[in-house]
Amino acid sequence: MSESASGSREPARSAPLAAAWTVALFQLRRLLTRPRLALAAVGVVFPAAVMFAAGRAARGRLDPDLSVAMLYALIPEAVCVLGLLVTMCPVVADELERGTWPHVAVRPGGRRALLLGTWVAAVIWTSAVAILATLLALPVANVTDPFAVGRILAALVLLSCTGRAALFALPAVVMPKRALVASVGLALVVEVLAGVIPAVVNQATVSLRLRSLLVDWMHWKQKLPTEVQLFIDPQPAWVHVLAVTAVVAILLTAAVVILERRQFPPSEEI
């Protein structure tokens, strides 16, 4: 046992982030299948269809602020969460199912690159779907300034995707085979339930930050009844962006640490 592990040939090597980017590109290519594209098309069309139907039901007199609130509920909330559930949750389960996990797990830094790369791919894919949905829904929604609303929704989409993808990374690495169910549970408990509790606990949720940013950027604060203001945080926008960034950093670090220690026994021997 006199051999040294450092005695290997040392060719040109790239940075760990490059490996994560490689995974992201690989995962994005794998998403280009007919079923995934069909699902994405549904995500793009669905908000526009709902807004069109709502406009018809209100006979063209849908309140512009209500339209923005509906777009927010449909796109940064519904489309993003659903998109991330199908792109981020299977990060480990898919590898196990396709027999690619052992190939990745034996690469130096492979586990970390797999998680971070899939997170990047999920954010890019879901953001693209959500922004296309915004572009399609805005013309049929009755909003006063479509360009401003579009910019606000795009920013909220990016924050929603980065934050929620990191949130769903945890169940994906802790319980890969039940990741979808666990993520739905987590979304309901953390984002919906804890997010509306007017206490310290909601400070850690992405939904509070998104709602607060929407109210801030749409200048709705003065219009909101006092009891509704309990469900938002009146701090400046940069605080919310920083909070989402911190949530992403903490959740992704935790997920990477867990995944690097995970062991998946060969099922045939159990």
Partner 1 sequence: MISIHNLTKLYGSVIGVNDISVDLGAGAHGLLGPNGAGTTTFLGLVTGQLRPTMGRVLVFGEPPFGNPRVLRRIGFCPAADLGLGTTTPREWVRYLVRLSGFTAAEAAARADRSLEQVGLAAASRRPLAALSKGMRQRAKLAGAIAHDPDLLVLDEPFDGLDPVARHDLVELVRSWAKTRSLIVASHLLHEVESLDAGLAVILGGRLVASGTAAEIRDLVASMPAEVRVRCDLPRRFAELACGVEGVESVRFDGGEVIVATRHPGLLVEQAVMPAVHAGLSVTEVVAADRSLEGIFGRLVRLHRGVKA
Question: At its nearest, how many Å lie between partner 1 and the CB of residue 64?
Answer: 45
* Closer residue to partner 1 (CB): 104 or 241: 104
Paired tokens of 114: 């797999």
Under rule CB under 8 A, residue 60 binds partner 1: no
Please pick, from the candidates 53, 65, 98, 236, the single residue that binds partner 1 as defined by CB under 8 A: 98
Q: What DSSP element (H or E) covers 113?
A: helix 110-137
Closest CA to 126 of 167, 95, 92: 167
Under rule CB under 8 A, residue 225 binds partner 1: no
Under rule CB under 8 A, residue 35 binds partner 1: no
Paired tokens of 84: 């991330």
Question: At its nearest, how many Å lie between partner 1 and the CB of residue 76?
Answer: 31
Binding segment for partner 1 (CB under 8 A), chosen from 14-22, 43-51, 170-178, 242-250, is 14-22
Under rule CB under 8 A, residue 104 binds partner 1: yes
Under rule CB under 8 A, residue 4 binds partner 1: yes
Closest CA to 142 of 55, 243, 39: 55
CA distance linking residue 164 with residue 190, whole number of Å:
11
CA distance linking residue 162 with residue 176, whole number of Å:
20
Distances in Å between the alpha carbon of 44 and those of 47, 136, 165, 202? Answer: 7, 7, 19, 30
Residues at the contact surface with partner 1, assessed by CB under 8 A: 1-9, 11-14, 16, 18-19, 22-23, 26, 29-30, 32-33, 97-100, 102-110, 113, 260-261, 263-266, 268-270
